[in-house]
Amino acid sequence: MSGLFGTDGVRGVANRDLTCDIAFKLGQAAGALLGDTIVIGKDTRKSGDMLEASVAAGVMSAGGTALLAGVIPTPAVAYLTRTLQCAGGIVVSASHNPPEYNGIKFFDAQGYKLTDFNEHRIEDYVYTCARGGIEHPFLDTLSPHTPQNSYELPVGARVGTARHVDDACDQYCAHIIDAITKQGISFKGLHIALDVGHGASTHTSCRTFEELGAQVSVINTDYNGCDINVNCGSTHLEPLRALMKETGADIGVAHDGDADRVILLAPDGREIDGDIMLAVCALDLKTRHLLQENTVVSTVMCNLGFVDAMKAAGIRVVQTQVGDRHILEEMLLHGYNIGAEQSGHMILFDYNSTGDGLMSAAQFIAAFIRSGMPLDKLIDVVQKYPQVLLNVPVAHKENLAQSAEIQDVIHNVEQQLANEGRVLVRASGTEPLVRVMIEARDVARAQELANRIGDVVKRTLS
């Protein structure tokens, strides 16, 4: 949607795009529109303290209670929102983005990401306040027709307060440990290599795996606010591969900055992405008669090899737009209990209401243990088509659909591929990029066709 919100909350360079003013108004909007008690978490970015304070002040200025969970994964905030019976949750994080970025995302009382309707309500609130004097680049894109509602703020005894949730990480870890132990599974004898990416999972993942019985070799647990996601974590797997080679670990686990996603590594170095995790976990659920409606939910970005694997197993695949929110909406609408994005966001609806990197890793490992198979063989269930993904920096991603030249080259490539592959070109919802994905039976062919489209996109939209 246009305006403040992208595909995953409000995001930008902290203190330039995403300022304390706008964070305050977003917090105030949450307190006024969602309800009186809001749990707030953050990742390890240097700007996190600043924006957390601003958001919390906004919640309190609306008369709400701000529960401060500190540095904690995004899915833990969704979990705590439900278990602490809060009116909503807020996470100060820019997920996998570089350290200078930050973001603010919201959960409703059930721990779900907000609907478009509620995002519009928050935008309307902020825009109304902006007419009272706050000026900000984000606000230039909001509709001039936004209603000028008036909101009366509380005074005196009705002003809100804040308090810390000292055991927030403890509660989240206990939830995951309980979910695995109830299956009769122990990780004893398993050696896990773990990269927490200088991010929010530094206080949760290692201790959880160890309490489940695993031996854990972990890197990047320290943080200085400027190293989150830098050459580490789920988007930079080289350090984890080196750790696995050094330690001889059985499986590698890598999180992004806020640990709402996870990418795994097999002992031979192969990447286990969201498609493979979804396939393995879905087959495990089907074997245990727990796969609701015999269906999994993925996105249009999933590999055709994943679709083939599910078809061979008699499992139906439903595909949505990119974004774990769209996956969740489909799951809620039809009662499905598992879905994932290739990027490593997996929603296990029996356990959490959003993408949960630690729960996903734990459930995958449980499925791996139950299978009795070597991991290298287990993941062969998905025979992937070669896939090339280009992230093309552009200045005007909003003009993608209107460019006849780009649409022509896409159509031409689709004709060349016919039924032997596919093309997906879309604007990023969180960055100034256009993503070009080509799948083909031959990787050199896929690279050639991706470059052809990428060159036109760059020339046309820069």
SS3 298: strand
Q: Is 405 exposed, middle or buried (0-12, 13-18, 19+ CB in 10 A)?
A: exposed
**Any idea how long the chain is?**
462
User: Any idea which residue has 């994943």 for tokens?
Assistant: 306
Rounded CA gap, 438 and 446, in Å?
6
DSSP alpha helix (H) spans, 288-356: 304-312, 324-334
Concerning whether 95 is annotated as a catalytic residue, the answer is yes
Between the alpha carbon of residue 391 and those of residues 266, 271, 328, 397, 417, the distances in Å are: 26, 19, 25, 12, 21
Question: Cα 238–241–244 angle (5° rounding)?
Answer: 155
Beta strands 271-272 and 88-92 are unpaired
> Which candidate in 47, 54, 93, 95 is catalytic?
95
The C-alpha atoms of residue 26 and residue 104 are separated, in whole angstroms, by 8
Alpha-carbon distance of 99 to 76, in angstroms, equals 21
Q: Which residues are catalytic?
A: 95
